[in-house]
Structure 1
Amino acid sequence: MVDNTKAGNILRVEGLKVAYGGIKAVKGIDLEVNKGELVTLIGANGAGKTTTLKAITGTLPNCKVEGSLHYLGSAIKGNHSFDLVKKNLAMVPEGRGVFTRMSIHENLLMGAYIRDDKAAIAADIDKWFSVFPRLKERSAQMAGTLSGGEQQMLAMARALMSHPTLLLLDEPSMGLSPIMVEKIFEVIRNVSAQGITILLVEQNAKLALEAAHRGYVMDSGLVTMSGNAKDMLNDPKVQAAYLGEG
């Protein structure tokens, strides 16, 4: 069982099961994310990682979800995604999901649609432009014309415009060049250093564990290992299965 008493608990998942018809994608997992942590969920493709994030954010298609989901101490299972955004829970989905026919600047404004503090919104756009200078150079450009890496930067900046208490990142390095992957992880570490709590789903186990405080390994719908991220980096079983070592 997950420890419910720990101070600063942001997200608590207990006994989560997700089934699509007769297919059990998630088979009863527990995990938690505490204030200020960067927690990563690693595992092979098809392990159930993205399904877990979609269950948390209420973005799954019709399927059976069992177990409990608590965010900031309140049950959120069954909440709509737009309600969760109002509670400062944001997700950068796999595939980025930028508004392709809007400019970079317009995408960032969409990230702040729940806010009405115009001066602070403008200041935040400047802030994230300083973190992502490529976006600033192309602020009037349509998002659909950006490279994959630039779209990933935009999707992250857009999510951060909502001032998330918890930021969920789903496979941010997928399909990117090695140089761009390094840049994205540099930004993830930067965001974490600012105190923003992050749950990161990622197939690049090495980079994810190097950046994270704690990690969970998911395999065939189950959490098979969890612990301190640095310890997991040195674990022979993790090295053999996910790091190409051992």
Structure 2
Amino acid sequence: MSENILKVSGLKVAYGGIKAVKGIDLEVNKGELVTLIGANGAGKTTTLKAITNTLPACRVEGEITYMGSPLKNVKSFQLVERKLAMVPEGRGVFTRMSIHENMLMGAFTRKDKAGIDADIEKWYGVFPRLKERSAQLAGTLSGGEQQMLAMARALMCHPELLLLDEPSMGLSPIMVEKIFEVIRNVSAQGITILLVEQNAKLALEAAHRGYVMDSGSLIMTGAAQDMLHDPRVKAAYLGE
């Protein structure tokens, strides 16, 4: 039996009379890369924000448990202490800090200086562009470089669960390939990932399992390889 890392049960999110998420159930088990795909506006980002308690004022119902404990009323900075990290849509790097300072911010819950230094070098090895520019202000980086930095910063806390929200958005095709290469690399190291992504083909190729979201509801789930070849997925999300 796989160890459950994240379990979402009956999640509903409403902004006034608008129902953004309509009672979904999903789970992520230890070591899995699970992807949540769907069109823009389907409710994917809202789902991630509900998990991390970063939604604006709205009505939220249902239960979310992480490592067996409920996440209700847990502050976002406390999630990092519990080793749950998120790379938000739009990256969210500290623009007036250097790359190196951003990396250190990712490890603010840790006290092992030697380990932090070793991890910075480890992720510089994965993202050599960041090492070359370590003293550069994050706000001067390209979109792809900022995405690399946001991922490396999140990994500095040794997450048990990494949430990725639209990591390929706005990037060139070459940079998208690089980002997904890193996602597969991180997953291969045993880090559990929940990936929200509009590029359904790349997401399903990288993932173990997938969920399809449409208009706030989950309409399909299964093994990612099976979904890649499902005629409904191919027609709606893969352009085939």
Shift of 1:171: 0.1
Counterpart in 2 of 1:203?
198
- SS of corresponding position for 1:224: strand
Q: Which amino acid aligns with 1:141?
A: Q
Shift of 1:218: 0.1
Matched, 1:43 2:20: no
Matched, 1:191 2:209: no
Shift of 1:78: 2.4
Counterpart in 1 of 2:207?
212
Aligned residue runs from structure 1 range 66-105, under 5 A: 66-105=61-100
Displaced runs of 4 or more, over 3 A: none
Q: Deviations over 1:74-99 (max 9, x none)?
A: 11122111111110000000000000
Within the candidate set 218, 230, 234, 1:223 is matched to 218
Q: Deviations over 1:81-137 (max 9, x none)?
A: 111111000000000000000000000000000001000000000000000000000
Q: Distance in 1 between matches of 2:75 and 2:115?
A: 27
Q: Deviations over 1:37-95 (max 9, x none)?
A: 00000000000000000000010011111000000001112211111111000000000
Moved more, 72-81 or 212-221: 72-81
Q: Distance in 2 between matches of 1:81 and 1:43?
A: 25
- SS of corresponding position for 2:6: strand
Q: Distance in 1 between matches of 2:6 and 2:208?
A: 15
- SS of corresponding position for 1:199: strand
Counterpart in 1 of 2:115?
120
Counterpart in 2 of 1:3?
none
Matched positions, count: 240
TM-score (norm 2): 0.99
CA RMSD of aligned residues (A): 0.5
Shift of 1:7: 3.5
Shift of 1:22: 1.0
- SS of corresponding position for 1:231: helix
Q: Structure 2: which 5+ residue stretches go unaligned?
A: none
Q: Distance in 2 between matches of 1:175 and 1:160?
A: 22
Counterpart in 1 of 2:52?
57
Shift of 1:158: 0.2
Q: Distance in 1 between matches of 2:89 and 2:74?
A: 21
Identity %: 82
Matched, 1:162 2:157: yes
Shift of 1:21: 1.0
Q: Structure 1: which 5+ residue stretches go unaligned?
A: 1-5
Q: Deviations over 1:7-28 (max 9, x none)?
A: 4100000000000111100000
Q: Distance in 2 between matches of 1:232 and 1:78?
A: 35
Matched, 1:143 2:160: no
